[in-house]
């Protein structure tokens, strides 16, 4: 064919077919262009007018066909198919029983809106394979949940890959923002440039991983914290995951997400991709963060009666580690209660013969050497102090040195003839092995039934490696589903018990685990310096009230840093606050400071935990990080600004606020003036630092700003803002 020839394309008068799905501020348009094939997402952005001509919108995006290309356009459908000539990454890879590729050509069966969901059903006639995509909206939310399902026909197939409905990535997005990290340094936000080819983020660890919170953002050029367009995806699955962004040779970019493990489907079986959470916003990173936070609050997490308002925790881990002594623990509990703690969490070391991390996982019976009368006396003591009681467990694990392993070595994931490394001296229990999940349910149910426990810290401290069951079948997906089933069953039996998801800190955080838990242990780092950064960026997807954040020891155990009590306590109160140190080490001054910050947390938590968070842009080179939480009713806010390094400038520059009403007046005061007594600010004449504070309009605060005092590295300013009952400034004055 020469470049002058116009290929003759099959015509169908009724094409393209278009469908739209709207949230409060967002529209998604899908269009099927060709031969009744699967549709493509052709629009994902600001809500379109009700009478927008979708056919014209889609027709305007008809791809021209160049030389040296197939004579038909290859659509980037919600499931780009090898069988339709997709030359990039397919959304589905299937083989038959003889390992022959199945070249699907799905044809649309039905597309319909049901209960706020756009449901697309298609079938590949020769094989009977069924494909179903769901885009689900939820009341008052701008996040769309989507997943794909593949159902087998008459014959069995192996599915090597099934992506959730494939999304286009805007060709004008300037870069990707994603999370990279490690143990004690989770949620490191980083920029990645687009480049031709595939960018792959994958966890094969049987958990989301400290290194890969499964989410990605696509800011448009000029997108800042509080302005500009941005799209995002979070993949809600707590095990292995794959996020893939491909820049195709024809200029298109695609985004896929799924579970990177083959699945065998017998006739009638259905495989689901698991759910993605799609977000769009046009007011910067703060806005998209708010949309995810609000969605999580209203549609994912269910709080328990005793979990709200969010009680201050005392966790004994960094105080005693495995060295449980009832007198010490009762002493710590008393001191913690006096400082303001409301829930005492007994961490690792209470069961089996667990004197260190080499034994006893699986033996979920109280260690009577340490607790001769069981846990009841400690629980009674704790409750007598007015605190509730929480307990650490790590149900999915088994120590080779345990009674459980001696009785049921076949429950351990340790494939025959292969070396399975231990991690922290432990192995993983195969929850799909007959009897294993039942055993765990019985143990946990007994603990929760026999004791007044209203909280479990559910840990998961190692990767799944060589993840196959006793028959050698892949387990990454099924193990995670079995964890969900166990959690669901326990929650149904004990609905009053709150559960925290911990995996050596933030190794397992996603919306599917949060549908079954109410808190995440964001990181094993109690270092407020590291925490400040992590929490700042984790807020893009997680609201404060589910982010466990503890006041750690003066000398941080995971970094060796020494940090002031004001900075430690101030950082903790921006999450779900707790203490985790040997309270006996505290000086009188430290106790006073901790009590002051704890009381402040308690006074404000009710509204803080439903507030909207705004990231602020300090005018420096990254030495400070700041954010504001604005009450849902707009009547008050708190501004937190942390200095993390020696500022490069000799004084501070104005910090512009966000999220306020232009013409309302606000009284702003520096709440922690007392912590300003030392250098580096010798003198600050701003009325901000007086008890009366100053009064300014929202517009002035947002566009002119405030100059805060100069802070030492690792210090924090807390500014209170209250909307005051004065006539608003006139909009025209």
Of these residues, 142, 225, 454, 524, which one is catalytic?
A: 524
Whole-angstrom Cα distance, residue 426 to residue 467? 14
Which residue is closest to ligand GLA by CB?
348
Whole-angstrom Cα distance, residue 111 to residue 417? 50
Query: In terms of CB distance, is 315 or 479 closer to ligand GLA?
Result: 315
532 in a labelled binding site: no
Of these residues, 124, 142, 459, 714, which one is catalytic?
A: 459
Write each residue from 183 to 202 as x if it is in contact with ligand GLA (CB under 6 A), else as -, in one continuous string: --------------------
370 in a labelled binding site: no
Structure tokens at 371: 């607790």
524 in a labelled binding site: yes
Structure tokens at 139: 């009341």
Residue 381 CB, shortest distance to ligand GLA, in Å, is: 21
Whole-angstrom Cα distance, residue 220 to residue 235? 21
Residue 113 CB, shortest distance to ligand GLA, in Å, is: 44
Does position 348 bind ligand GLA by CB under 6 A? yes
**Contacts to ligand GLA from residues 85-114, by CB under 6 A:** none
Does position 392 bind ligand GLA by CB under 6 A? yes
- The secondary element (H helix, E strand) that includes residue 326 is helix 326-339
Structure tokens at 623: 């030495």
478 in a labelled binding site: no
Describe the strand order of the beta sheet including 694-697 as a list of residue ranges: 612-616, 624-630, 636-643, 715-723, 665-670, 694-697
Specify the residue for token string 């709440």. 671
CA nearest to 190, candidates 202, 203, 176, 201: 176
Does position 505 bind ligand GLA by CB under 6 A? yes
**Contacts to ligand GLA from residues 112-171, by CB under 6 A:** none
Q: Give phi and psi for 317, each to the nearest 5.
A: -55, -55
Query: In terms of CB distance, is 521 or 637 closer to ligand GLA?
Result: 521
Binding segment for ligand GLA among 235-243, 436-444, 502-510, 684-692 (CB under 6 A)? 502-510
Q: How far is CA 108 from CA 39, 495, 597, in A?
A: 8, 42, 59
Structure tokens at 673: 């003036």
Does position 579 bind ligand GLA by CB under 6 A? no
Q: What's CA 723's distance to the chain center, in Å?
A: 32
CA–CA–CA angle 545, 546, 552 (5° rounding): 85
Specify the residue for token string 């997943």. 147
424 in a labelled binding site: yes
Whole-angstrom Cα distance, residue 242 to residue 165? 14
Does position 524 bind ligand GLA by CB under 6 A? yes
Does position 504 bind ligand GLA by CB under 6 A? yes
User: SS3 of 648, please?
Assistant: coil
Distance spanning both ends of the chain, measured CA to CA: 69
Residue 352 CB, shortest distance to ligand GLA, in Å, is: 13
Query: In terms of CB distance, is 382 or 702 closer to ligand GLA?
Result: 382
Binding segment for ligand GLA among 65-73, 438-446, 498-506, 683-691 (CB under 6 A)? 498-506
**Residue 459 bears catalytic tag:** yes
User: SS3 of 398, please?
Assistant: strand
Whole-angstrom Cα distance, residue 146 to residue 274? 8
Structure tokens at 372: 């001769």
Whole-angstrom Cα distance, residue 197 to residue 654? 43
Burial 177-210, CB ≥16 within 10 A → b, else e:
bbbbbebbbbbbbeeeebeeeebebebbbbbbbb
459 in a labelled binding site: yes
Write each residue from 442 to 481 as x if it is in contact with ligand GLA (CB under 6 A), else as -, in one continuous string: -----------------x-x--------------------
Residue 428 CB, shortest distance to ligand GLA, in Å, is: 15
Binding segment for ligand GLA among 86-94, 172-180, 214-222, 500-508 (CB under 6 A)? 500-508
Whole-angstrom Cα distance, residue 660 to residue 384? 44
Residue 557 CB, shortest distance to ligand GLA, in Å, is: 11
40 in a labelled binding site: no
The number of residues that bind ligand GLA (CB under 6 A) is 11
502 in a labelled binding site: yes
Binding segment for ligand GLA among 92-100, 125-133, 499-507, 724-732 (CB under 6 A)? 499-507
Query: In terms of CB distance, is 27 or 238 closer to ligand GLA?
Result: 238
Whole-angstrom Cα distance, residue 392 to residue 313? 13
Residue 581 CB, shortest distance to ligand GLA, in Å, is: 13
**Residue 12 bears catalytic tag:** no
Write each residue from 304 to 343 as x if it is in contact with ligand GLA (CB under 6 A), else as -, in one continuous string: -------------x--------------------------
Q: Give phi and psi for 65, each to the nearest 5.
A: -110, 125
Does position 347 bind ligand GLA by CB under 6 A? yes
Does position 427 bind ligand GLA by CB under 6 A? no
Report, as residue numbers or ranges, the catalytic residues: 459, 524
Binding residues for ligand GLA (CB under 6 A): 317, 347-348, 392, 459, 461, 502, 504-505, 521, 524
Q: Which residues are annotated as a binding site for substrate?
A: 183, 347-348, 424, 457-461, 502, 524
């Amino acid at each position: 064919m020469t470049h002058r020839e116009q290929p003759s394309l099959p015509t169908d008068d009724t094409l393209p077919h278009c469908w739209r799905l709207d949230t409060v501020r967002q529209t998604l348009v899908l269009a099927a262009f060709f031969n009744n094939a699967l549709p493509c997402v052709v629009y994902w952005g600001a809500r379109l007018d009700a009478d927008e001509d979708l056919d014209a919108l889609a027709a305007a995006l008809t791809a021209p066909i160049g030389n040296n290309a197939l004579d038909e356009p290859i659509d980037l459908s919600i499931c780009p198919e090898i069988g339709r000539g997709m030359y990039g990454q397919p959304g589905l890879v299937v083989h038959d029983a003889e390992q022959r590729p199945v070249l699907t050509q799905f044809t649309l069966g039905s597309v319909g809106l049901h209960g706020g969901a756009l449901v697309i059903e298609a079938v590949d006639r020769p094989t009977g394979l069924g494909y179903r995509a769901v885009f689900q909206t939820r009341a008052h939310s701008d996040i769309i949940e989507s997943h794909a399902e593949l159902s087998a026909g008459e014959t069995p197939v192996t599915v090597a890959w099934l992506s959730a409905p494939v999304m286009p990535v805007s060709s004008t997005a300037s870069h990707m923002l994603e999370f990279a990290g490690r143990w004690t340094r989770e949620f490191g936000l980083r920029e990645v440039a687009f480049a031709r080819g595939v960018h792959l983020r994958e966890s094969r660890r049987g958990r989301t991983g400290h290194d890969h919170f499964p989410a990605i953002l696509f800011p448009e050029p000029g997108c800042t914290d509080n302005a500009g367009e941005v799209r995002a995806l979070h993949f809600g699955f707590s095990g292995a995951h794959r996020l893939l962004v491909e820049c195709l040779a024809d200029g298109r970019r695609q985004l896929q997400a799924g579970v990177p493990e083959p699945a065998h489907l017998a006739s009638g079986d259905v495989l689901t991709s698991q759910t993605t959470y799609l977000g769009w916003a046009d007011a910067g990173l703060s806005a998209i963060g708010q949309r995810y936070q609000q969605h999580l609050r209203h549609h994912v997490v269910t709080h328990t009666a005793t979990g709200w308002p969010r009680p201050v925790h005392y966790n004994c881990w960094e105080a005693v580690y495995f060295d449980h002594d009832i007198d010490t623990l009762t002493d710590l509990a008393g001191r913690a209660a006096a400082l303001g703690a409301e829930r005492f969490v007994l961490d690792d070391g209470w069961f089996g013969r667990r004197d260190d991390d080499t034994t006893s996982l699986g033996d979920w019976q109280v260690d009577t050497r340490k607790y001769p009368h069981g846990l009841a006396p400690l629980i009674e003591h704790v409750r007598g102090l007015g605190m509730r009681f929480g307990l650490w467990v790590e149900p999915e694990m088994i120590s080779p040195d345990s009674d459980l392993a001696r009785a049921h070595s076949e429950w351990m994931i340790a494939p025959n003839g292969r070396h399975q490394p231990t991690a922290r001296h432990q192995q993983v229990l195969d929850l799909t092995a007959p009897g294993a999940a039942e055993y765990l349910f019985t143990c946990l149910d007994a603990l929760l039934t026999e004791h007044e426990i209203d909280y479990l810290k559910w840990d998961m401290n190692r990767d799944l490696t060589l993840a196959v069951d006793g028959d050698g079948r892949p387990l990454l997906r099924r193990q995670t589903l079995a964890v969900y089933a166990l959690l669901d069953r326990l929650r149904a039996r004990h609905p009053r018990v709150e559960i925290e998801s911990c995996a050596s800190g933030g190794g397992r955080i996603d919306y599917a685990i949060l549908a079954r838990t109410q808190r995440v242990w964001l990181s094993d780092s109690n270092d407020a310096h590291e925490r400040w950064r992590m929490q700042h960026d984790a807020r893009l997807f997680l609201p404060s009230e589910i982010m466990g954040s503890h006041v750690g020891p003066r000398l941080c155990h995971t970094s060796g840093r020494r940090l002031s009590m004001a900075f430690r306590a101030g950082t903790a109160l921006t999450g779900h606050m707790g203490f985790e140190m040997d309270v006996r080490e505290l000086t009188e001054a430290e106790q006073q400071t901790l009590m002051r910050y704890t009381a402040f947390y308690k006074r404000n938590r009710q509204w803080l935990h439903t507030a909207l968070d705004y990231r602020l842009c300090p005018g420096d080179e990254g030495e400070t990080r700041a954010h504001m939480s604005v009450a849902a009713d707009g009547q008050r806010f708190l501004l937190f600004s942390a200095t993390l390094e020696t500022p490069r400038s000799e004084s501070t520059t104005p910090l512009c606020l966000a999220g306020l009403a232009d013409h309302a007046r606000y009284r702003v005061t520096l709440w922690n003036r007392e912590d300003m007594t030392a250098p580096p600010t010798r003198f600050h004449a701003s009325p901000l630092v007086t008890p009366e504070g100053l009064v300014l309009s929202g517009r002035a605060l947002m566009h002119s700003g405030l100059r805060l005092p100069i802070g030492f590295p690792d210090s924090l300013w807390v500014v209170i803002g209250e909307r005051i009952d004065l006539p608003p400034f006139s909009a025209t004055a």
